[in-house]
Structure 1
Amino acid sequence: MILPIVAYGAPVLRKVAQDIAPEYPDLQKFIEDMWETMYASSGVGLAAPQVGKDIRIFVIDSAQIFEHQEEDEKDEYPDAPGFKKVFINAHIVSLEGDEWPYNEGCLSIPKIREDVFRPETVTISYLDENLQPHTDTFNGITARIIQHEYDHIEGKLFIDYLKPLKKKMLQGKLNDISKGKIKVDYKMTFAK
């Protein structure tokens, strides 16, 4: 089932999400719904707060970025051809490497894209969709998507990384998003 994406301004996007217990009801169905919602919205990552749940789950599929790149661009990133993963109860262990810019966007903040600097490498502990524990290190585009989605479960948004003047310049657009004065080609819910 395709879930509505929560728009900027909704309080759930600013809450630190809670770890879930193994007996969380209908977990597999919720994960399937997240995948379906992410793909239907043309996203490469989706976190539970973006669909109104303050729980520590996010999904990523960085392979989609590589599928749409020219062959010579794929060599620029060490994580080609990308990864598709579910992260449950994730906690970052370390961030390493030089910070590099990439033009990020967010399904909850449509039609706004800005360069954000993030470290090259992330090491993260998490449970997979079968609730098996992992601690893995990711780099390149995959590391960036993981950091972006991880921010969502920490109550943070990519616009929080922007300089105050840039954020102030975007305030009108952000206000329009929070009031529902925006058209997108996927289901959204807006803060009241």
Structure 2
Amino acid sequence: MAQVEEDFPFGAAHASIVTGSRTTLQIADSVLRMVAKPVPEEMIGSETLRRLVEEMWMCMIDAGGVGIAAPQVGISWRLFIGAAMNILPSTVFINPEVEYFGEADVLGEEGCLSVPGWRSAKVLRHPKVTVRYRDLAGAARVATYEGLAARIVQHEFDHLNGKLFIDFDDSPDVDHPLRRRALRAMTEMEERMKVEVEDA
């Protein structure tokens, strides 16, 4: 435990690599609303980072997802992974920078491992993105994605900036129990974060 906490200083107490549960954090966890920090240079290419990425792959596969970001396993680093058959090759994005093309005017369906049960077909995204990132070995990469692959990249990149897909849902008046639960959890979490800041 101590070694893992030393390796992962941002939110390690909630990380699935600590609990071994292979479960992702839920919407009420405040780390999901934080702007993640860059992966430290000394960690890139390290065994520690490799272990974290392996755990992220296991979490994603177990949950049947197509992407997952480090904050979703409790590590507030700018890192996400994605894979979708015939759409997005298995890729590790370290310290990504995203360039958007076109207006965010493409509606599509999304769900999130951190907002279980809720899906929306009214999430607006850009039609195309270019991503500059480092791979697991530390090499600089550039890739351009369109369609569903671009949507996956945007969804996961948002996690690194404390955003969730429901923030971009273009159907704000929809009344659904899961939506109400998600919004209530967000409100409670934001109030808790405000108190933590005031007490600091």
Q: TM-score, normalised by structure 1?
A: 0.76
More moved, 137-146 vs 2-11? 2-11
- 1:120 to 2:127 alignment: yes
Aligned match of 1:45 in 42, 56, 67?
A: 67
Displacement of 1:136: 1.5
- 1:99 to 2:105 alignment: yes
| Number of aligned residues | 162
Query: Partner of 2:129: helix, strand, or coil?
Result: strand
Aligned match of 1:172 in 174, 180, 192?
A: 180
Task: Check conservation: 2:87, 2:149, Cα contact below 8 A.
Answer: no
Displacement of 1:131: 1.0
Distance 1:167 1:149, change over 3 A: farther
- 1:57 to 2:79 alignment: yes
Amino acid at match of 2:79: I
Aligned to 2:57: 35
More moved, 115-124 vs 103-112? 115-124
Amino acid at match of 1:43: G
Q: TM-score, normalised by structure 2?
A: 0.73
Aligned match of 2:35 in 16, 21, 40?
A: 16
Displacement of 1:57: 0.6
Aligned match of 1:136 in 136, 139, 143?
A: 143
Task: Check conservation: 2:118, 2:179, Cα contact below 8 A.
Answer: no
Whole-angstrom CA distance in 2 between matches of 1:29 and 1:13: 21
| Structure 1 unaligned blocks of 5 or more | 64-79, 179-192
Query: Partner of 2:127: helix, strand, or coil?
Result: strand
More moved, 159-168 vs 139-148? 159-168
Displacement of 1:170: 5.2
Displacement of 1:20: 1.1
- 1:7 to 2:26 alignment: yes
Task: Check conservation: 1:2, 1:34, Cα contact below 8 A.
Answer: no
Distance 1:161 1:167, change over 3 A: farther
Structure with greater proportional helix content:
2
Whole-angstrom CA distance in 2 between matches of 1:146 and 1:88: 12
Task: Check conservation: 1:93, 1:123, Cα contact below 8 A.
Answer: yes
Query: Partner of 1:5: helix, strand, or coil?
Result: coil
Higher relative contact order (CA 8 A, sep 6+): 1
